[in-house]
A and B are shown apart, each in its own frame.
Chain A
Amino acid sequence: MDVKVSFKDFRNDVPPNWCPGCGDFAVLAAMQRAFANLGLRPEQVAVVSGIGCSGRISGYIHTYGFHGTHGRALALAQGLKIANRDLVVVAAGGDGDGYAIGLNHTIHAIRRNMDITYLVMDNQIYGLTKGQTSPRSAMGFQTKSTPKGSIEAPLSPLMMALAAGGTFVAQGFSSDVNQLVSIIEAGIKHRGFAFINVFSPCVTFNKVNTYDWFRERVVPVETIEGYDPHDRKLAMQKLMETDGMLTGIIYQDPDSVAYEDRIPGFRKEPLVRQPLKPSREDFEALVAEFV
């Protein structure tokens, strides 16, 4: 009989090298609690992460973990999911990883809709390289690379995700761990690609977008009367009205069909457990096509 899992089962003995107060601690804790709440065992989960402060997260959690190349966590995660559809695959990284160098993959992963959960720890700055602008930095934001203030428009990731055909679009905030846990749980249960942006403040390099700054501005969807997370148009409208500060499950397509279920001939049995060498009969039939 299975012993009940606890979030402690997902802890390991590596102290994160994040700064004290970093928003990423809350994301890590929320992932561990969500996995436990769903009754998952560590070996059933693979966390695939990118490069940057947040990318280190795969090393701080007791599951299978792959810390890959900058911006390519989603490509690794999708390959892994194709190999073993029974695994719970969670990709994670920062806003530089997902919205700058890896934006291409983010948009196409959303379009593809594989059954993967993607967490972006969004701190509007480059932390590990010590404070340069990010695609999420506000116009006028001063950093080492924009000493006179950013002159580029910030990306709106949630609207982008909706425009790309996202079937699960959500946003959390590191200071509301309970909300984040429930978002991650729903994301993992969602049959398709769950896109979750998390406001995860950088306490060292971003003195503007602080915890207090977010607290004053976030708008949980629960506080909007009559909000319907199955209404894509409403989701887009409210995101525009709040300048992207909505939190919670902003949109979910209840009829979402995961990519794996759309592939012709793709079996329920994971690819990794299927035989390698074709039978002689099958091989001969393939070769006969070339005579």
Chain B
Amino acid sequence: MVDQLSWKVGGQQGEGIEKPGDLFATALNRLGYYLYGYRHFSSRIKGGHTNNKIRVSTRPVRALSDDLDILVAFDQETIDLNAKELRKGGVILADARWNPRLPDGIENVRLIAVPFTAIAQEIGSALMKNMVAVGATVGLMDLPVEPFQEVVTELWGRKGTAVVEKNMQAIARGAEFVRQELGGPLEEFKLAPADGKKRLFMIGNEAIALGALTAGARFMAAYPITPASEIMEYLIKVLPKFGGTVIQTEDEIAAVTMAIGANYGGVRAFTASAGPGISLMTEAIGLAGMTETPVVIVDTQRGGPSTGLPTKQEHSDLNAAIYSTHGEIPKIVLAPSTVEECFYDMVEAFNLAEEYQVPVIVLTDLALALGKQTVEPLDYDRVEIRRGKYLGDTELPPRERLDLFKRYELTPDGISPRPIPGQKYGIHHVTGVEHNEVGRPSEGAANRKAQMDKRLRKLAHFRMKEPLRVYAPHAQPDVLFVGINSTEGVIREAIERLEREGVKANHIQIRQLHPFPADDVRPYVDAAEQVIVVEQNATAQLAHLIRLHVGAREKIHSILKYDGNPFLPKEITEQAKGLLKAKELI
């Protein structure tokens, strides 16, 4: 028996590869296993190789595994491209119809040709070959067929019981075929029993959307883009029940600007996009900063620059998120590391946007946005709504007709009271031009300085409650790992391996990227012999931020990856070992 397995299903894009993977994973999640998935796909609808890699474990996993135990192949290309990933003794389950073969140089791997298509056709339709393939996996892992009944019923129940029965039959027949072929269960593919607890199984984009809704966001304006579209799609489905709505705009400029307009009107509103869309939004981000209008913007990072790698993993928007827009504005950038944090950080993003009256950018990455994974229960009671100096629910005292409300009143903390349109005694003007306390254009030197200082004062001492995600068992570690976004799991896994070799390692994930929490980061950097910053970009953006804000230039090293694929644990382990050896720490 084993406590984890790695499974991959591959084929041509547009042939319904997602379904067997999703069904397989959902059933296992309901048995209480922890799952972590990553979809490899291309920016096209039909054709091209696609695969879905899923790790199943009896304990929490937040990274892909180095190698593969089981490969389910719907075409020879899947075998040719992925067979090298299989561990010694790994198994390929492939459709017998096209006479699958092992590529040259691949040894110690077992290929089982299963008549996916033939069995499906016998049952009634070649389309069910996907289910036969799921069954083949069930047989190999010696799982019971019953847990799949529930998921299959949910998926095809509305098409009638006959369809459900046929799909279940396909699973059973696939399982039976492999069981016969093996002669008896193989212990190395048999998972230890899970705890049976029901946990959530979702992608980061769904957690982002659910977080926004729970925080009170009732309007989203967005333009479709990979890998952010699921956020709008989810809200299009659920917002009507809460009286809210989503507008698919003509472009990202309209999207962010509409969100700003709605926030000005007093409604929590946001937009979500990825690199190219975020680039288009930069002028409006400055408008939000200048007019002190709250707005939340999600950037699901993908490979840049330009159209770049639309369906691949990268962290190259850090600088763009922090610095983009001309001029100088206060801005907050959050970077959740897990699906749970996507949910809670979205709630916090809406609170911070209103409390500080600034744009808040929530950075995620493609692996976090689209990777489906097991998620611990989300806590309703942890969601609190804080609106700062919002006055929309307050009756304002009477004032003379032209005594305009001081929307930009110079206050000690820089944050001014915020009435909303419609309020009788709240009339004021808002402009992206430099303005005075009532929002009228004013270019005077003294006013300019006073208003600029006021805006920047708002975040001068800003620190969110937990700006870092910390794992620091050692007072004086050999190495401190610093990561961002979805690298959390893979770094932790690399650390476990290094610890087995005697390396003392601490780990922080940057959750509050901007303003940079230098005072929080510094003690961890100071305590460590060496610092390794892990990020998926070519120019070490995060490492440079640490050098800029914390210093310690000589001991900060980078492990970078920018080929579009997420880190594997062995890549970090090996490179870290190399660095530590050079420093004679191992």
Q: A80-B261, A108-B249 are in contact. Are A271 and B218 (CB under 8 A)?
A: yes
Complex partner residue of A78 from B261, B392, B401, CB under 8 angstroms: B261
Tell whether A87 is near chain B: CB-to-CB under 8 Å: yes
What's the Cα separation between A282 and B241 when bound, in Å?
10
B403-454 at interface with A (beta carbon < 8 Å): 420-433, 439-441
Determine the chain B residues whose CB is within 8 A of the CB of A75 once the complex forms.
249, 253-254, 257-258, 261
Tell whether A200 is near chain B: CB-to-CB under 8 Å: no
Complex partner residue of A82 from B219, B375, B441, CB under 8 angstroms: B219
Tell whether B397 is near chain A: CB-to-CB under 8 Å: no
Give the shortest distance, in Å, between A54 (CB) and chain B (any CB).
14
Give the shortest distance, in Å, between B4 (CB) and chain A (any CB).
22
Give the shortest distance, in Å, between B142 (CB) and chain A (any CB).
25
Tell whether B292 is near chain A: CB-to-CB under 8 Å: no
Interface locus among A40-48, A191-199, A219-227, A245-253: A40-48
Closest B residue to A8 using CB positions: B401
Complex partner residue of B243 from A43, A59, A266, A284, CB under 8 angstroms: A266
Closest B residue to A291 using CB positions: B198
Closest B residue to A269 using CB positions: B243
Tell whether B329 is near chain A: CB-to-CB under 8 Å: no
Do A77 and B250 touch (CB < 8 A)? no
Do A65 and B214 touch (CB < 8 A)? no
Tell whether A287 is near chain B: CB-to-CB under 8 Å: yes
Complex partner residue of B261 from A14, A48, A269, CB under 8 angstroms: A48
Interface locus among B61-69, B97-105, B185-193, B377-385: B377-385
Tell whether B238 is near chain A: CB-to-CB under 8 Å: yes
Do B219 and A72 touch (CB < 8 A)? no
Do B421 and A67 touch (CB < 8 A)? no
What's the Cα separation between A41 and B426 when bound, in Å?
13
Complex partner residue of A277 from B200, B214, B247, B254, CB under 8 angstroms: B214
Interface locus among B264-272, B306-314, B455-463: B264-272
Do A79 and B221 touch (CB < 8 A)? yes
What's the Cα separation between A276 and B426 when bound, in Å?
22
Determine the chain A residues whose CB is within 8 A of the CB of B392 once the complex forms.
272
Do B213 and A278 touch (CB < 8 A)? yes
Tell whether B233 is near chain A: CB-to-CB under 8 Å: no
Do A78 and B421 touch (CB < 8 A)? no
Closest B residue to A272 using CB positions: B266
Do A278 and B375 touch (CB < 8 A)? no
Closest B residue to A64 using CB positions: B421
As a 0/1 sequence over residues 84 to 109 of chain A, the CB contacts with chain B under 8 angstroms (1 = contact) are 10110000000000000000110110
Do B219 and A104 touch (CB < 8 A)? no
Do B432 and A68 touch (CB < 8 A)? yes
Give the shortest distance, in Å, between A50 (CB) and chain B (any CB).
10
Tell whether B206 is near chain A: CB-to-CB under 8 Å: yes
Tell whether A148 is near chain B: CB-to-CB under 8 Å: no
Tell whether B283 is near chain A: CB-to-CB under 8 Å: yes
What's the Cα separation between A64 and B221 when bound, in Å?
23
B273-322 at interface with A (beta carbon < 8 Å): 283-284, 287, 291
B195-214 at interface with A (beta carbon < 8 Å): 198-202, 206, 210, 213-214
Do A276 and B385 touch (CB < 8 A)? yes
A128-176 at interface with B (beta carbon < 8 Å): none
Give the shortest distance, in Å, between A44 (CB) and chain B (any CB).
7
Complex partner residue of A66 from B206, B240, B253, B264, CB under 8 angstroms: B264
Do A266 and B245 touch (CB < 8 A)? yes
Q: A79-B221, A272-B267 are in contact. Are A63 and B427 (CB under 8 A)?
A: yes
Give the shortest distance, in Å, between B235 (CB) and chain A (any CB).
11
Determine the chain A residues whose CB is within 8 A of the CB of B120 once the complex forms.
none
Give the shortest distance, in Å, between B448 (CB) and chain A (any CB).
17
Do A80 and B241 touch (CB < 8 A)? no
Determine the chain A residues whose CB is within 8 A of the CB of B221 once the complex forms.
79
Tell whether A179 is near chain B: CB-to-CB under 8 Å: no
Q: A271-B267, A276-B216 are in contact. Are A66 and B262 (CB under 8 A)?
A: no
Do A72 and B254 touch (CB < 8 A)? yes
What's the Cα separation between A287 and B260 when bound, in Å?
28
Do A79 and B260 touch (CB < 8 A)? yes
Most chain A Cβ neighbours within 10 Å, of B241, B266, B378, B422: B422
Do B431 and A271 touch (CB < 8 A)? no
What's the Cα separation between A265 and B251 when bound, in Å?
25
Determine the chain B residues whose CB is within 8 A of the CB of A107 once the complex forms.
250
What's the Cα separation between A13 and B380 when bound, in Å?
50
Most chain B Cβ neighbours within 10 Å, of A42, A44, A69, A276: A276
Tell whether B259 is near chain A: CB-to-CB under 8 Å: yes
Determine the chain A residues whose CB is within 8 A of the CB of B245 once the complex forms.
82, 263-266
Determine the chain A residues whose CB is within 8 A of the CB of B264 once the complex forms.
66, 76, 79-80, 83
Determine the chain B residues whose CB is within 8 A of the CB of A67 once the complex forms.
429-433, 441
Determine the chain A residues whose CB is within 8 A of the CB of B254 once the complex forms.
72, 75, 104-105, 108
As a 0/1 sequence over residues 11 to 35 of chain A, the CB contacts with chain B under 8 angstroms (1 = contact) are 0111000000000000000000000
Do A105 and B250 touch (CB < 8 A)? yes
Do A290 and B200 touch (CB < 8 A)? yes
Closest B residue to A58 using CB positions: B429
Complex partner residue of A286 from B210, B250, B265, CB under 8 angstroms: B210
Complex partner residue of B201 from A78, A286, A291, CB under 8 angstroms: A291
Most chain B Cβ neighbours within 10 Å, of A68, A81, A105, A290: A290
Determine the chain B residues whose CB is within 8 A of the CB of A274 once the complex forms.
218, 242-243
Q: A84-B265, A284-B380, A286-B213 are in contact. Are A271 and B200 (CB under 8 A)?
A: no
Tell whether A280 is near chain B: CB-to-CB under 8 Å: yes
Give the shortest distance, in Å, between A205 (CB) and chain B (any CB).
21
B362-387 at interface with A (beta carbon < 8 Å): 375, 377-378, 380, 383, 385
Determine the chain B residues whose CB is within 8 A of the CB of A277 once the complex forms.
214-216, 383, 385
Complex partner residue of A79 from B269, B375, B383, B429, CB under 8 angstroms: B269
Tell whether B504 is near chain A: CB-to-CB under 8 Å: no
As a 0/1 sequence over residues 102 to 128 of chain A, the CB contacts with chain B under 8 angstroms (1 = contact) are 001101100010000000000000000
**What are some 16 contacts across the A-B interface (CB < 8 A)?**
A9-B401, A65-B431, A66-B431, A67-B432, A72-B253, A75-B254, A79-B221, A79-B262, A82-B247, A83-B264, A104-B251, A108-B249, A264-B245, A266-B240, A283-B214, A290-B200
Q: A67-B433, A105-B254, A266-B245 are in contact. List 15 more A-B contacts (CB 8 A).
A: A43-B421, A66-B430, A67-B430, A68-B260, A69-B283, A76-B258, A76-B261, A78-B247, A79-B259, A79-B264, A83-B269, A84-B421, A265-B239, A266-B240, A291-B30
